[in-house]
Amino acid sequence: MKMLLNNLLVAFAMYSRLPVPKADWEEDNMKYCICFFPLIGLISGLLVNVTWRLLLLAGAGNAVQGSVLAVIPILVTGGIHMDGFLDTSDAIGSWKSVEEKLEIMKDSHSGASAVICGLCYMALYTGAMASMNTKALLLTGVGFMLSRAYSGFGLIVLRKAKKTGLLRSFSDRAASQRCSRVMIVWIAVSTAVMIMIDPVSGAVCAGCALAVFLWYRWTAYSKFGGITGDLAGYFLQICELVIALAAVLVCK
């Protein structure tokens, strides 16, 4: 039990800015930390839904609603996934070789592609959040779990672009077979909850998440030779955006 608790704390310390007790970062305490990754999505979804209701009670307009809700997931994670999105956008926008793309992703400076893609992303995401109704926001909230379940599953089963780095470190320490089964359960549960919220809209949102994951695999393999930590963040941000847009479009 103590080992699992430390795995939970490591997951929250690594993938969020939520206050947690200090974790013991030993190898045994990192084996299953990815299994708790979707819990951060659950908290993000709850915070977004509760904040939305508070904004409605306060009489906030759609512009304020969209802006506030759009930044909550970034505040919860500290922007770790958005950082990966921006770094990957720079690499893809360079149109250079695989090796050069991987080097660009390691550069701490932001290029034009990162700025442009980041602005476009936030414009689309803010617009989606400003257009939510109750059903759409519930589906979007569950989407935070589903995107992380797919991201964690990809971390375990997809080919890695590099033999070193944080992603490789976490993957090597993971009890791969057990973790992959746990992530499949997370995917199944999240998908089932979406369908329970609304059979048609839920199936559409879950289908979009699967489509983005397959596109992520193709993009990672064809453009980078495998996945990296930045690519994992890139996928997660795209997946959350697509789910939010799909929820707004299909929930009337």
User: Are 158 and 227 contacting, i.e. CB atoms less than 8 angstroms apart?
Assistant: yes
Q: How many domains does the chain have?
A: 1
pTM summary value: 0.92
> Residue 111's domain spans which residues?
2-250
Cα–Cα distance measured from residue 241 to residue 252, given in angstroms and rounded to the nearest whole number: 18
* Residue 84 structure tokens: 């990966």
176 exposed, middle or buried (CB, 10 Å; 0-12, 13-18, 19+)? Answer: middle
Range with the largest mean pLDDT of 24-33, 177-186, 188-197: 188-197
Cα–Cα distance measured from residue 203 to residue 99, given in angstroms and rounded to the nearest whole number: 38
Alpha helix (H) residue ranges in 32-165: 37-58, 62-77, 80-94, 98-106, 112-130, 134-157
Query: What pLDDT shows up at residue 26?
Result: 67
Placement of tokens 């013991």 in the chain: 24
Placement of tokens 């359960």 in the chain: 185
Check whether 44 has a pLDDT greater than 70: yes
Query: What pLDDT shows up at residue 232?
Result: 93
Cα–Cα distance measured from residue 212 to residue 46, given in angstroms and rounded to the nearest whole number: 23
